[in-house]
Amino acid sequence: MTIDEKVRKTLAELGATDAAGVEALFGEVRAAMEQERSSLVARGASSEAERDKLCKDLRDRWLARKNGLLTQIDEHWLKLGAKELKPIVGRQFNELRKASAGMETNELAQVVPLRKETSASMAQLSAQLESDVIRAERGDVSDLTLPGYRRPLGSLHPVTQMQREIEEIFLNLGFWIESGPEIESVYYNFDALNIPESHPSRDDWDTLYINSQTVLRTHTSPVQIRAMEKYGAPLYIIIPGKCYRHDNPDASHSPMFHQVEGLAIASDITFADLKGTLDFFAKKLFGEKVQTRFQPSFFPFTEPSGEVAISCIFCGGEGCRVCKESGWIEVMGCGMVHPQVLRNGGIDPEKFSGWAFGLGVDRFAMLKYDINDIQLFFQSDVRFLEQF
């Protein structure tokens, strides 16, 4: 059975019922990935264009978000794996993700050599050049001394870079990534999250309705309910994705934006665990000197709820234009999952508790890269994107 066939089967179908079986399967995957990478390096390419295409094809085969082999492993081995195997599968998957960094197009392009032309091809090229020179002397072609055209390699969008940084931190903490539909029902987007009909966010001035029972999701929180229904407890997930709200575009608002939410549910989860996790996250993302501050707030789906602020990364907490002289920058909301939300997800709040948080990826990218207008992310201006 090939690797392509194996990653499309569940661990149970492959007979991996213990840690040794899981480790053996991931060992096969890593060996196959390295073999294909080594084969491409040994083969080389005849031109930069061919090298770019070969590198992109290999990268997409392994890392494409829709049908890549790692995506198949996530879907069939991690998400559909037995609960008792999830810790070992998660660790092995995180190690595989780290090992796959060398499969990115830019990384491959640096190690795949260009093959020297054969004598036959050199002769053909020489004849072509001689012909071009003759035609140039007659004025039939452009100046051959002009530099040739080069198609530069692109780079990851700054929002994508920030999202992957956030994902990496939580994957290393044992969370896994969950996703859900962007066109969502009113039940999952509002009702199951304890948001009453009278809440202002349900007004059509705030939410983009497709019809009376369907919306473009206003947050990634609906995936929390879907994950509870699908996996039960314990549960440790992060949920990255696009969200939509009826906002007028300006320097700090966009009708489409990106969120990452986190959800942890277990039998002994407390607010102290939430504070420790988010403090660790802030220090990993912005540096060890960053401090965190928690203030009471209100959200219908958490109780108690809080707002998280970090010490200003620009002035070190002394006060500046960015933090409005306060020394603090508010970055996310959080809280303990409301018992009714747990019930709506099919989890008994008498046995389990949980916490959740939500942050805006675009605004984190604005902080990290000192960008003062969120619209720059969506204008496709190459002069802006080339800086990343």
Q: Write out pLDDT tens, residues 133-185.
A: 666 665 565 666 777 777 777 788 999 999 999 999 999 999 999 999 999 99
Q: Compute the average pLDDT of residues 237-252.
A: 91
Q: Do 219 and 341 sit in the same domain of this protein?
A: yes
Which of these three, 111, 134, 166, is where a domain ends?
A: 111
Answer yes or no: is 130 within a domain.
no
Confirm if 308 and 280 have CB atoms less than 8 A apart: no
Total structural domains in the chain? 2
Answer yes or no: is 148 within a domain.
no
Q: Which residues of 146-162 are buried (b: 16+ CB within 10 A; e: fewer)?
A: eeeeeeeeeeeebbebb
pLDDT on residue 133? 61
- 352 pLDDT tier (thresholds 50, 70, 90): very high
Q: Do 193 and 81 sit in the same domain of this protein?
A: no
Q: Do 103 and 177 sit in the same domain of this protein?
A: no
Averaged confidence pLDDT in the chain: 88
Q: Mean pLDDT lowest for which of 113-117, 169-173, 308-312?
A: 113-117
Tell me which DSSP letter residue 103 carries.
G
Which of these three, 78, 111, 144, is where a domain ends?
A: 111
Q: Do 171 and 93 sit in the same domain of this protein?
A: no
Q: Do 176 and 96 sit in the same domain of this protein?
A: no
Answer yes or no: is 174 within a domain.
yes
pLDDT on residue 16? 87
Among 293, 301, 291, CA closest to 335 = 301
- 313 pLDDT tier (thresholds 50, 70, 90): confident
Q: Compute the average pLDDT of residues 219-228.
A: 95
The pTM of this model reads: 0.62
Query: How does pLDDT run across 247-290, given as a tens digit for each residue?
Result: 888 888 899 999 999 999 999 899 999 999 999 999 999 999 99
Q: Is the pLDDT of residue 130 over 70?
A: no
Listed as own residue / partner, the contacts of 143-148 with beta carbons closer than 8 Å and 24 or more positions apart are none
- At 258, which amino acid appears? H
Neighbours of 283 (CB within 10 A): 16
Tell me which DSSP letter residue 345 carries.
T
Q: Mean pLDDT lowest for which of 82-86, 123-127, 219-223, 362-366?
A: 123-127
Q: Do 247 and 333 sit in the same domain of this protein?
A: yes
Which of these three, 96, 111, 126, is where a domain ends?
A: 111
pLDDT on residue 47? 87
Q: Which two tokens stand for residue 114?
A: 């260009």
Q: Do 169 and 29 sit in the same domain of this protein?
A: no
> Is residue 353 helix, strand or coil?
strand
Answer yes or no: is 121 within a domain.
no
Bridge partners for 114 per DSSP? 45
Answer yes or no: is 128 within a domain.
no
pLDDT on residue 303? 93
Answer yes or no: is 75 within a domain.
yes
pLDDT on residue 125? 67
Q: Do 46 and 185 sit in the same domain of this protein?
A: no
Structural domain that includes position 175: 158-385
Q: Do 103 and 182 sit in the same domain of this protein?
A: no
Tell me which DSSP letter residue 147 carries.
P
pLDDT on residue 141? 57
Q: Do 45 and 174 sit in the same domain of this protein?
A: no
Q: Do 76 and 199 sit in the same domain of this protein?
A: no
- 188 pLDDT tier (thresholds 50, 70, 90): very high
Answer yes or no: is 370 within a domain.
yes
Q: Is the pLDDT of residue 83 over 90?
A: no
Q: Do 162 and 93 sit in the same domain of this protein?
A: no
Q: Compute the average pLDDT of residues 48-74.
A: 89
Q: Compute the average pLDDT of residues 51-77.
A: 89
Answer yes or no: is 150 within a domain.
no
pLDDT on residue 142? 62
Q: Is the pLDDT of residue 5 over 60?
A: yes
131 or 162, which is more confident: 162
